[in-house]
Amino acid sequence: MAWPIYFVTGNKNKLAEFLQILGPEYVHKIQSKSLDLPEIQGTVEEVSREKCRCATRLIQGPVIIEDTALCFEALNGLPGPYIKSFLGALGPDGLPKMIMGFGDNRAYALCTFAFCEGPSHPVHLFTGRTDGQIVNPRGPRNFGWDPVFQPDGYEQTYAEMDKSEKNRISHRFKALHKLKQFLETDYKC
């Protein structure tokens, strides 16, 4: 087993949530590394696999990457893995406007973690999904599309929630729980 495992991200908010959810026993086993990875087009699975393969070739060791998608039911799953581009172009205020005329504001947040032990090893995917709806922005605007996503069964958007509450129900938590189980059983950490 090789340590550390590199979590490839340049997003400090993602890193903070990642470490909070994993727990203190992983703080010294996981290191963050920011790499300029190509943004390929494809399904969430294709994007995740390719980014992970690219990262493990650059690092020459075990890596974890995360790809997050926000999928609107009215748009057959778009923007999906392209949410970062949509958010950059439209901002949080523009996302609800995209689906206003459709009469369907249902959406789901999808998180995929990809893990690869090294360049000659297979990529393993771990996915988590949280269903919800797209609403007009509420709460702090410091973490992507959190102000416009309200999970089913809650009156608050991700942005309005206490971090510990969000980290118990989020798409990221669900995917990371699966990854953690894999690391503890199959990767023997």
* 144 carries a ligand binding annotation: yes
Q: Is 14 annotated as a binding residue?
A: yes
Per-residue pLDDT of the chain (189 residues; tens, 9 = 90+): 456 899 998 888 788 888 888 887 776 688 888 888 887 888 889 999 999 999 999 999 999 999 999 999 999 999 999 998 998 999 999 999 999 889 899 999 999 999 999 999 999 999 999 999 999 999 988 888 999 999 999 999 999 999 889 989 999 999 999 999 998 887 765
| The token pair that represents 68 in the structure block | 């997050």
Rounded Cα gap, residues 48 and 58, in angstroms: 15
The answer to the question of whether 11 is labelled as a binding residue is yes
How high is the pLDDT of residue 184?
84
State yes or no: 51 annotated in a binding site: yes
Per domain, the residue ranges of the chain are 5-185
- Please check if 9 is assigned to a binding site: yes
What pLDDT, on the 0 to 100 scale, is given for residue 188?
A: 61
pLDDT at 28: 66
Does 130 show up as a binding residue in the annotation? Answer: no
- 3 marked as part of a ligand binding site: no
Residue 97 annotated as binding? no
Q: Does 68 count as an annotated binding residue?
A: yes
The H or E element spanning position 110 is strand 106-116
Fold of 5-185: Maf protein (3.90.950)
Report the distance separating Cα 17 and Cα 185, nearest Å: 22
- DSSP labels for 3-29? SPEEEE---HHHHHHHHHHH-GGGTTT
Q: Are 169 and 130 contacting, i.e. CB atoms less than 8 angstroms apart?
A: yes
| 127 is annotated as contributing to ligand binding | no
**Does residue 70 contact residue 83 with C-beta atoms inside 8 Å?**
yes
Beta strands of the chain (E only): which ranges?
5-8, 30-33, 63-72, 79-80, 106-116, 123-134, 149-151
49 assigned ligand-binding residue: no
What's the pLDDT at 37? 83
User: Which residues, 6 or more positions from 170, have their beta carbon under 8 angstroms from its beta carbon?
Assistant: 17, 109, 111, 128, 130, 151, 158
**Hey, what amino acid is at 68?**
T
Q: Is 67 assigned a ligand-binding role in the annotation?
A: yes
